[in-house]
Amino acid sequence: QVQLVESGGGVVQPGRSLRLSCVASGFIFSNYGMHWVRQAPGKGLEWLAVIWHDGSEINYADSVKGRFTISREDSKNTLYLQMSSLRAEDTAIYYCAKAMSPQGWDWFDPWGQGTLVTVSS
């Protein structure tokens, strides 16, 4: 079945960088758009970034634009989120999610289980 497994979370100091990974299985990864969404502790969901199946289009939320970079490596069935200049307010669980089609604007289904990023000195 479709499975998404995030990794790379942890405790990082403000201003530092971190790279998250999301390994996909159970579907043809290169055929689908992929998203990153986060959830701060006790808060709601915030969409962060999307990449089309072929990388031809990428979009970001304003809150992370210029600091975060989404990318994919289809040979490894892996989605990435490179995060730089991290701030305390970036502390959250980070989820990857598969789009329902090659285009990034499609619905999220399914979601990964998430990885926790804590930005603290």
Binds other proteins by CB under 8 A, chosen from 21, 59, 77, 84: 59
User: What is the per-residue DSSP string for 28-52?
Assistant: -GGGS-EEEEEE-TTS-EEEEEEE-
Nearest distance, CB of residue 46 and other proteins, angstroms: 7
Kind plus residue range of the DSSP H or E element containing 115:
strand 115-119
Point out which span in 10-18, 55-63, 66-74, 82-90 binds other proteins (CB under 8 A).
Answer: 55-63
Contacting positions for other proteins (CB under 8 A): 35, 44-47, 50, 59-62, 95, 100, 105-114
